[in-house]
Chain A
Amino acid sequence: MSAPATLYVGFLVAAPLAILIAYSFWTQTYVTLDKTLTLQNYRDALADPLVRHLLLRSIMIAGAVTAVTVATAYPIAYFIAMKANKKTIWLLLITIPFWSSYLLRVFAWKLILGFNGVMNSALLWMGLIDEPLTFLLYNEFAVVLTLAHAWAPFAILPIYVSLQKIDPSLLEAATDLGNSKFQAFRRVTLPLTIPGIIAACLIIFIPTVGDYVTPSLVGGSDGKMIANLIQVQFGAANNWPLGATLSLMAMLSVGFVAIVLVITGTALGKRIR
């Protein structure tokens, strides 16, 4: 009985992918679509420094976002799992802001970080700065900050779940055997939460590479990512075959990095132990 749902998703994954692949071997000449099979799009894309640059930057930014989000979220997950009295309330409090439109949250960050925005005007008003800070908006910093905010619960929850599963007697055993609290954390808690950390990394990294809204609104020209270029191909440039090629290249790079992430993460987890 899961067939309808599986078929629906299967069809909407497989069919677009098949047509996307087909498109990537076709070419666009002005308004007509040339259906002769060719590798021209791939050659063009690989030879274009802009494509390489944007693809690399998307992966770097997604990597930075993943690292920042997981590093800042870990203590929160730890706090909720190990210290907080009212776990349910904390979990609810953490997820509520993310029940609102992603577009609106990114837009709010644009208003906060802008040259004449909330942050600058507040700092000026309080007399903490003499002129507006310019490094806040339209750069990679703004993109990383906004996305680290957007993905926070997706990092906190999987890490929380893996912390929750730890048997407290393991930690007691570690301290009884002469480990300091920090050593016990490093040698017991951290290795046992590696699966949660890897899950968080994947959940954040994969969609971030292809994010469109954040680089468009707060990225400026320094923060543009591959999704912006893909959108241009499907929109203004009207070169769908190239857009399809770029989509596939982005997908392949994401898949490759994700696999590397899982392998190194697992290996790291074994080494710490």
Chain B
Amino acid sequence: MSRPSKLTIYAFAYLGFLYLPVLFLPLFSFNSGTIVAFPIKGWTLDWYRKLGEQDALIQALWNSLTVGLIAAVLATSLGLFAARAFVRYRFRGQRASEGLVMLPLVIPGIIVASSMLVLFLFIGLKPSLTSVILGHTFLALPFAVSILKSAFDDFDASLEEASYDLGVGVFETFYRVTLPVVAPGIIASILVTFTVSFDEFVLAFFLSGNQPTLPVYIWGQIRFPAKLPNVLALGSILLLMSVLLLLLAEYFRRRSSSSK
């Protein structure tokens, strides 16, 4: 082993910087003291135990799960057709269409949130989980499209053609050939878009009305120092969950692009 170069040392230091905040949340969630500071007073699991007793939290969790699941299915279904069209066909306005679908990634959150609030109230849709679902589908769509595009990239179109040649109809071919082959991509897309929705705050803050999602609930708790340990425990669980879900998504994504 030669001496590590300056660049290598920098890379490891930078990695430390990246992991600093995500490691401190779980660390202090086991701290028996209520102040987030060194030295750590003692170790406890109390904060985790108390989470189950909070009805508002459980309700917010259900809201988030509902919104996440529906938004994930909607975004993935819309993304599935879009991705197939983008990869398989060349059509007029394709570049514009692909660009437009990616747009939600780059519009500042506050502008998306405020303009959707105005739109939904204008068409008579009160702030509710429904408006959050519509908003999250919009935000998650670029993720679904890019994951599914790579799934279709590796899909051999002659499989579908063979199916047509054998006299199988369009819909049956879709169910029996297309879906099974891109299934890992679909699962990856659902996991990723679910996580995008599950973690999203600003849009839900504007659109959820009196049905808070989990991040909106956490936002309400952050202001009270006494609630801090609970937020830490809840936050740590959510961090772990997001990372696990996305590792799983990554696994499926790789499977979809390596299965030829």
Binding site for B on A (CB under 8 A): 1-6, 8-10, 12-13, 15-17, 19-20, 23, 72, 75-76, 78-80, 83-84, 90, 92-94, 96-97, 99-105, 107-109, 111-112, 114, 116-118, 120-122, 124-125, 149, 152, 202-203, 206-213, 217, 227, 230-231, 234, 240, 243-244, 247, 250-251, 254
Whether A2 lies near B110 (C-beta < 8 A) is: no
Proximity string of chain B (138-175) to chain A, C-beta cutoff 8 Å, 1 when within and 0 when not: 10010001000000000000000000000000000000
Whether B115 lies near A118 (C-beta < 8 A) is: no
Whether A207 lies near B199 (C-beta < 8 A) is: no
Closest to A148 in B: B17
Given the contacts A20-B118, A75-B10, A103 and B22 also touching, CB distance less than 8 Å: no
B1 within 8 A of partner (CB): no
The 8 closest A-B pairs by CB, nearest first: A210-B108, A16-B115, A121-B37, A108-B21, A5-B82, A101-B199, A1-B85, A2-B85
Closest to A152 in B: B18
Whether B215 lies near A4 (C-beta < 8 A) is: no
Task: Tell me the chain B residues, 78-103 only, with Cβ under 8 Å from chain A.
Answer: 78-79, 81-82, 84-86, 89, 94, 97-98, 100-101, 103
Residue in A90, A100, A111, A210 whose CB lies within 8 Å of B238: A100
Whether B82 lies near A4 (C-beta < 8 A) is: yes
Given the contacts A9-B101, A234-B117, A254-B108, A107 and B37 also touching, CB distance less than 8 Å: no
Can you report 5 A-B residue pairs in the complex whose CB atoms are below 8 A from each other?
A: A5-B101, A15-B119, A118-B37, A217-B222, A250-B110
Expressed in whole angstroms, the Cα–Cα distance for A13 and B222 within the complex equals: 32
Residue in B14, B20, B37, B239 whose CB lies within 8 Å of A72: B14
Q: How far is the CB of A161 from chain B (nearest CB, A)?
A: 14
Given the contacts A19-B118, A93-B15, A4 and B78 also touching, CB distance less than 8 Å: yes
Residues of A within 8 A of B18 (CB): 94, 97, 149, 152
Whether B201 lies near A101 (C-beta < 8 A) is: yes
Whether B21 lies near A209 (C-beta < 8 A) is: no
Q: Which of B7, B11, B98 has the most CB of A within 10 A?
A: B11
Given the contacts A8-B141, A118-B24, A107 and B122 also touching, CB distance less than 8 Å: no
Given A16-B119, A108-B24, 17 more A-B residue pairs with CB atoms under 8 Å apart are A3-B81, A3-B85, A5-B141, A6-B97, A8-B78, A15-B119, A16-B115, A99-B195, A101-B242, A108-B22, A108-B235, A116-B37, A203-B106, A208-B108, A227-B109, A231-B114, A250-B110
Closest to B37 in A: A121
Whether B201 lies near A102 (C-beta < 8 A) is: yes
Given the contacts A104-B238, A149-B17, A5 and B79 also touching, CB distance less than 8 Å: yes
Whether A97 lies near B19 (C-beta < 8 A) is: yes
Given the contacts A1-B82, A103-B199, A9 and B100 also touching, CB distance less than 8 Å: yes
Q: How far is the CB of A228 from chain B (nearest CB, A)?
A: 9
B43 within 8 A of partner (CB): no
B202 within 8 A of partner (CB): yes
Q: How far is the CB of B87 from chain A (nearest CB, A)?
A: 10
Whether A1 lies near B84 (C-beta < 8 A) is: yes
B8 within 8 A of partner (CB): yes
Closest to B254 in A: A88
Residue in A78, A203, A244, A254 whose CB lies within 8 Å of B118: A244
Residue in B21, B109, B202 whose CB lies within 8 Å of A112: B21
Expressed in whole angstroms, the Cα–Cα distance for A94 and B201 within the complex equals: 23
Q: Which of A5, A99, A212 has the most CB of B within 10 A?
A: A5
Whether A9 lies near B118 (C-beta < 8 A) is: no
Residues of B within 8 A of A247 (CB): 110-111, 114-115
Whether A210 lies near B85 (C-beta < 8 A) is: no
Expressed in whole angstroms, the Cα–Cα distance for A10 and B105 within the complex equals: 14
Residues of A within 8 A of B206 (CB): 234
Expressed in whole angstroms, the Cα–Cα distance for A13 and B154 within the complex equals: 31
Whether A209 lies near B36 (C-beta < 8 A) is: no
Whether A19 lies near B122 (C-beta < 8 A) is: yes
Closest to B119 in A: A16
B193 within 8 A of partner (CB): no
